[in-house]
A and B are shown apart, each in its own frame.
Chain A
Amino acid sequence: MQNRPAIVAVGRTKFGEHYGKEPEKLIEEAWLAASQESGLERKALEACYMSDCFLPITNKLGLEEGFLSELTELHVPMEVTRSVSAALLTACHAIQSGAYSTVLVGGIEKMTDRWDKIRDDLMLLEDPWSYYAGGTPEVNHELMLRAYAKKYGIEGENLQKLNLALAEVAVKNHAHALKNEYAQFQRKITIEHVLSAREQAHKPLALYDFAPISDGASALILTNDTKAKAFTDKPIYVLGCASATDYLNFPGRADLTHFIATRIAMKNAMKMAAIDLDDIQIAELYDQSTVMEMVTMEDLGFCEEGTAWQCIRGKCEEYDGFYEVKDRKIHVNTNGGLKADGNPLGATGGAQLFEVFRQLRGEAGPRQIGPAKQPPKYGCTQEFEGFGTKSYTTVLGRE
């Protein structure tokens, strides 16, 4: 493929509450880290693709492009999307078309400044009718779980196992985050924490099942395969990237137990990448809730429909953090996922790409998967906008 897009450097901030930092400081930190790593001269950038969801209502009124221009002293084309995956997809198309050869892709979010209103904001963004009907950002996850259990006839003892498996997802992700210096929660939790939070809330899902609100920024440098070697010996190629869309209104969708957008996006990304799904060893999924991680494992094709919970259960007790499907290990959310790494909407996808980039290059330090000196060859990321309304999948590889 001509003009194959390649990521040559990544950067990010710690996710969490950045009480004292302005959004400028966050994105500056992330993009400086990426440009430092690649030795990129600022002037070499031909365009910027940035993302944020709430910046205009939380911190910066006006065009974000303008404040990025001030920050970088660049006057190149800039576009703002709602997620890093969307920014990357657009940037990839530009690289492939030959329009640009070196671009900056990044994202930023500062949600905690709006801590008292953010749940209303999130729900209105996710699905206005559900918000008007009294929905919270958590309800659709809970309804999906109930619909899932009903559809696959999971009840009684099996339902308990399913609930336990979901608790293990949260425990696994927290365990991963312990080894991630950028993670929002570098704190070990136990199954008991998850279960007792659910019991206290009288809910099937509770505090430890959901991703937090976060501040943070992430950035990466994207170029084409010809130019990549000028920046690094180990570029990571974007082998496939795709997105798909579904109804805004969750109850109105055909299937309440899965995300059709993810299925379509993954199918298209895999077709583009032309690799075997079995070759993917690491996946960074959008685990806004533990249920979302479980269902997405099925939508991406890693697990059979209605079985992901069985693949998690029992396999993560050592907290090596992998799913086992047909005797094959799939490492999921090794940075801690949205649950423990944090979920600053506009920057989250960048952290997912950051993680897969590091893992494929064997630079993930204590989190590195696979045998020493033999990092995984392929990885993928999956990101949502809304509750399954838009799904983005990106397949990355060392070659």
Chain B
Amino acid sequence: MSSEPIERRVSYLGDRLKAVRCRICGKEYFEIRDYCGNCGRKSYGKMDGIDLFYDKGKLDVCTLVNEPTNRFTKLQSFIYAIVSFHGGKIRVPGRLTDQILKNGETSDLSELEGREVIPRFRRRNAVSQSDVIPTISLAFSLADEYYPHQDYTIIQPSKEYDSAGIVGYGFYTSRFRIKENGLERAVPFIDEDAVTASVEAGKLALIHSGVDSQLVGKVYVGTESNPYAVKPIASKVAQVLKLGKEEGDMQSVDAVDTEFACKAATSMFKDAASLVNYPKSGVQYAMVIGADNSQAAPRGCPGGELDLFVGYGGAAYLFGKQDVIAEIEAWYSCTSDTPDFWRRDSEPYPMHGGRFTGDPAYFKHVRKATSTLMEQQGLKASDLDYFVAHQPNPAFPVKVAKELGFKPDQYEISLQVNKFGNTYSGCSPVGLAAVLDVAKPNERILITSYGSGAGSDSYLLRTTDQILVKRRRQKVNVKYQAENPFIEYVDYSTYRRLKTGM
């Protein structure tokens, strides 16, 4: 049922909140129309597309839903509202997301009315396991809480670099956390998953880079928690973020999902950089996203030991040659067939190889990739400003960094696993984002990812002056999300409920 054309249309319109404005009378319409109802035939061809996706709305009136319709029952109770844009020219229905209403809680509705809200791309409602997962952006969060409004302004680049590098990045995780054993871990809200995190991270990367999304020619999405065994996330990301030129209901972009445990994203950094560097590719910018709602069986079940470390979140990196914030100087990758972590097809949760996961897997590959790259480049640990390692738990990256001769002030800033948990494909990219958030121009960063199965990618990066210019555009950085006063902590059972999703 849900792969019907009507579902496709609803997603196409609702994911991006497509709207139009009549050039003659100024009336605005949610959905796409060729004519204005007021102006009729003469308005044909004069309906301009307007974007609500990066806009903010106002919550006009709201009510509490505590007996939802069947497909929304997993949300339990929520605030449902009428949201207006552009001073009431467009009004849409929506629900407030990212809120856990305690049972029987009477919210003060008038407290919410009149406040600014931001459309969020989320799962729309529950469907059966075999159905297409519906999504929508008629979910809103309060602009003065965890996730503030940020303008997306396209900025003409000022400088062309010789080789490709990072031109923008974004990291996103939810406002919910679980705190256990001194470790904080991010927990998705019930309507979030790897797809929604990918879109959010990509959105933040576009905002940060100031790059026109039309110029992005390729997007790679690396994840190991794609809710589909067959169907890409990248297609959704491309469509919602309008990557590549929009032509009818299609985007002129190449979109692909990649898979290699936790290095599915970092592995593509070099591909993205090479692609934009290749003169005949015609690709000006390429985006790489690593995002996961990291899977783990419940505690006490086989594979349940992972449940102590898994997190949620994603990071997106945009590669290009103009206004680069960090140039890629060199890279090295290594691979061996080491089955330290796996999930068989149709199994819900991954298994991992116990102590096998340490020395013969993580340490062997991270050590090899890092030291080889440093050798090739003739670098000592002390020649680098920062070292970022994949961080499946708080202990591994510290141990390997010390072994490789790095000092705490070189690697500590990158350690984010104790704040967000192991975000799998997003894990080392989050560490890198934390470094880029604070790095000064002309500093050298070495990042080494690790993916079970197994392999590592090491990259040597050098920051540029641009890093300071672009930093001002990004409010929602790693620190902002780690130390946000609106973080909400949940208990173990809520964490499992939210993580399992709609």
Contact = CB atoms under 8 A, between A and B. Distances in A.
B70 A143 contact: no
A134 B68 contact: yes
Interface string A167-189: 00000000000000000000000
A108 to B, nearest CB: 25
A134 B79 CA distance: 9
Q: Which of A134, A147, A203 has the most CB of B within 10 A?
A: A134
B80 interface: yes
B61 A143 contact: yes
Contacts of A146: 61-63, 109, 113
Interface stretch (B90-98, B305-313, B418-426): B90-98
Interface residues of A, number: 32
B69 A147 contact: no
A133 B117 CA distance: 15
Contacts of A142: 63
Contacts of B71: 120
A119 B93 contact: no
B10 interface: yes
B334 interface: no
A202 B105 contact: yes
Interface string A188-201: 00000000000001
Query: Is the contact region of chain A dominated by helix, strand, or loop, or is it mixed?
Result: helix
Contacts of A150: 61, 113
A139 interface: yes
A117 B69 CA distance: 8
A249 B83 CA distance: 13
Given A129-B138, A143-B63, A202 B80 contact: no
B82 A120 contact: no
Interface in B110-131: 113, 124-125
A120 B91 contact: no
B63 A251 contact: no
Nearest to A129: B93
Given A133-B94, A251-B93, A123 B69 contact: yes
Nearest to B91: A251
Given A129-B92, A251-B82, A256 B61 contact: yes
A357 B106 CA distance: 45
A213 to B, nearest CB: 13
Interface string B349-390: 000000000000000000000000000000000000000000
Given A132-B10, A132-B136, A252 B63 contact: no
A285 to B, nearest CB: 23
A314 B93 CA distance: 36
Interface of B: 10, 14, 30, 60-72, 75, 78, 80-83, 90-95, 104-106, 109, 113, 124-125, 134, 136, 138-139
Interface of A: 116-117, 119-120, 123, 127-139, 142-143, 146-147, 150, 201-204, 249-252, 256
5 contacts: A128-B10, A129-B93, A129-B138, A135-B93, A147-B61
Given A116-B70, A128-B10, A132-B125, 16 more contacts: A120-B71, A129-B93, A131-B69, A132-B14, A133-B92, A133-B95, A133-B138, A134-B94, A135-B65, A136-B65, A136-B68, A136-B69, A146-B61, A146-B63, A150-B113, A251-B82
